């Protein structure tokens, strides 16, 4: 494959960010965009320079000129939309969280394997140079043994029962939307936790407004991880080791600069300016994999996405976050009727 032909499924907020990044991604052709409404799709396509637009997701999947589809719909639709794309023979990059539960994800992974198609979760922070560098520093022992990490992600979203963050049918709540980031960082840096304590503040629909986690890894690192849709928090990540510490100076999940403090040395600020807006790194990885004929990324393997979903299942069980049974379904993916 010389060039990779991209399709975008769903033309909302994140789709705009991703399209902007795709414009700066080498070997990428902005082939087609699809929305549930043809005019919306046409407007999106013309804004970002896609060659074609479709007023239905199925038409996008049926386009033989599209190689890979980026899925940018709400959480509860990821299972149905990924299945639709894989059934149609398309490679898939799907927004986070991959699915609602690990059982759904296992079905998708098996399907991609069977069809020999590329499948990857678009958890953009995983691909960012600042995050990757942090893991290298920790693995090299630059800050010694890591005793603890504090990570928060809180934004004060005004309550709107229809917004995807609060609508149970769109799998609203802090954990799946923003709490996934602190959890991801702890798993990426320290692996699957040996112990995990969790507490959530739930609303009347049993979705979480705030979730706090304390985890302990095999190596003894304790992580304090908090997410909330009720308040603006510093959105910081700080990692404390026996010889020094690492602090992310801006929104940690998209780090542009990181301060490294090692005992008896001057502070160092490491800079990671993005090429576009940060979403280009996940796109570049998908392009690399497709060009090399890979069906799975070593940077974001299926096993990592599964571990992440399993930990979120585990947390939901502890704290009582509950979604409607329709969106947890394995047999009839939620949203399938809207596609037919
Ligand atoms: N990586 C990141 O930094 C990041 C940031 C924000 C969001 N996200 C993820 O991206 C996904 C979409 O979030 P978003 O903020 O872009 O949401 P959004 O602005 O509401 O867009 C979602 C799109 O999904 C489509 N859709 C299909 N069925 C829908 C339904 N029943 N209700 C609402 N929308 C429906 C709509 O597309 P059409 O009408 O155009 O077909 C809509 O434009 C979520 O999974 C979220 O976790 C990731």
pLDDT digits (tens, 9 = 90+) for 185-223: 999 999 999 999 999 999 999 999 999 999 999 999 999
Assess if residue 284 is contained within a domain: yes
The span from the CA of 77 to the CA of 83, in Å, is 10
CATH number, domain with residue 205: 3.30.360.10
Task: Answer yes or no: do 106 and 230 share one domain.
Answer: no
Assess if residue 135 is contained within a domain: yes
CATH number, domain with residue 103: 3.40.50.720
Does the pLDDT at position 340 exceed 80?
no
Task: Answer yes or no: do 40 and 136 share one domain.
Answer: no
Task: Answer yes or no: do 48 and 9 share one domain.
Answer: yes
Residue nearest atom 33 in ligand 1 by C-alpha distance: 74
- The whole-number pLDDT of residue 70 equals 99
Conformational region of residue 48, where left means phi above 0, alpha means psi within -120 to 50, and beta covers everything else = alpha
- The whole-number pLDDT of residue 249 equals 84
Phi/psi of residue 226, each to 5°? -130, 140
Render pLDDT for 266-290 as a digit per residue (tens, 0 to 9). 999 999 999 999 999 999 999 999 9
Task: Answer yes or no: do 250 and 332 share one domain.
Answer: no
Does the pLDDT at position 238 exceed 90?
yes
Element (H, E) at 64: none
Assess if residue 232 is contained within a domain: yes
Task: Answer yes or no: do 194 and 289 share one domain.
Answer: no
- The whole-number pLDDT of residue 331 equals 92
* 263 CA to centre of ligand 1 in angstroms: 45
Please tell me if the CB atom of residue 39 comes closer than 6 angstroms to any atom of ligand 1. Answer: no
Task: Answer yes or no: do 102 and 164 share one domain.
Answer: no
Contacts of 67 (CB under 8 A, 6+ apart): 1, 4, 5, 6, 31, 90, 91, 290
- The whole-number pLDDT of residue 250 equals 80
Does the pLDDT at position 312 exceed 70?
yes
Atom number in ligand 1 closest to CA 14: 16
Task: Answer yes or no: do 204 and 236 share one domain.
Answer: yes
Does the pLDDT at position 4 exceed 70?
yes
* 74 CA to centre of ligand 1 in angstroms: 4
* 3 CA to centre of ligand 1 in angstroms: 27
Assess if residue 250 is contained within a domain: yes
Number of compact structural domains in the chain: 2
Task: Answer yes or no: do 119 and 145 share one domain.
Answer: no
Assess if residue 319 is contained within a domain: no
Task: Answer yes or no: do 44 and 135 share one domain.
Answer: no
Assess if residue 308 is contained within a domain: no
The span from the CA of 78 to the CA of 306, in Å, is 15
Total-model pTM: 0.98
Assess if residue 64 is contained within a domain: yes
Task: Answer yes or no: do 24 and 53 share one domain.
Answer: yes
Task: Answer yes or no: do 41 and 155 share one domain.
Answer: no
As a whole-number percent, the residues of the chain with pLDDT over 70 amount to: 100
114 contacts 209 by C-beta, under 8 angstroms: no
Does the pLDDT at position 66 exceed 80?
yes
Domain ranges, residue 264: 129-271
* 121 CA to centre of ligand 1 in angstroms: 15
Does the pLDDT at position 59 exceed 70?
yes
Q: What is the mean pLDDT of the chain?
A: 97
Assess if residue 144 is contained within a domain: yes
Task: Answer yes or no: do 26 and 76 share one domain.
Answer: yes
């Amino acid at each position: 494959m010389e060039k990779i032909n991209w399709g975008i499924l769903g033309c909302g907020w994140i789709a705009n960010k991703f399209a902007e990044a795709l414009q700066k991604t080498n070997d990428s052709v902005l082939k087609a965009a699809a929305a549930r409404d043809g005019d919306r799709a046409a407007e999106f396509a013309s804004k970002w320079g896609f060659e074609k637009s479709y007023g239905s997701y199925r038409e996008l999947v049926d386009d033989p000129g599209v190689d890979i589809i980026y899925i940018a719909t709400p959480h509860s639709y990821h299972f149905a939309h990924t299945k639709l794309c894989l059934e149609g023979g398309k490679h898939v990059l799907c927004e986070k969280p991959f699915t609602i539960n690990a059982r759904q994800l296992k079905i998708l992974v098996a399907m991609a394997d069977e069809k020999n198609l590329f499948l990857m979760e678009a958890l953009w922070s995983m691909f960012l140079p600042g995050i990757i560098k942090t893991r290298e520093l920790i693995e090299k022992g630059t800050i010694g043994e890591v005793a603890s990490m504090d990570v928060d992600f809180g934004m004060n979203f005004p309550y709107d029962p229809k917004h995807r963050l609060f609508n149970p049918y769109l799998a609203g709540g802090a954990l799946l939307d923003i709490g996934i980031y602190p959890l991801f960082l702890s798993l990426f840096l320290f692996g699957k936790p040996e112990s995990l304590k969790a507490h959530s503040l739930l609303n009347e629909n049993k979705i979480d407004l705030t979730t706090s986690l304390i985890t302990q890894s095999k190596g003894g690192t304790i992580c304090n991880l908090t997410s909330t849709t009720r308040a603006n928090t510093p959105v910081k990540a700080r990692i404390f080791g026996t010889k020094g510490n690492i602090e992310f100076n801006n929104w940690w999940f998209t780090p542009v600069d990181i301060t490294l403090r090692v005992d008896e040395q001057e502070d160092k600020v490491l800079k990671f300016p993005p090429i576009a807006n940060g979403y280009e790194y996940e796109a570049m990885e998908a392009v690399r994999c497709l060009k090399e004929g890979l069906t799975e990324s070593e940077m974001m393997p299926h096993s990592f996405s599964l571990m992440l979903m399993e930990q979120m299942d585990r947390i939901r069980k502890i704290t009582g976050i509950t979604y409607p049974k329709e969106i947890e379904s394995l047999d009839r993916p939620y949203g399938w009727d809207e596609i037919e």
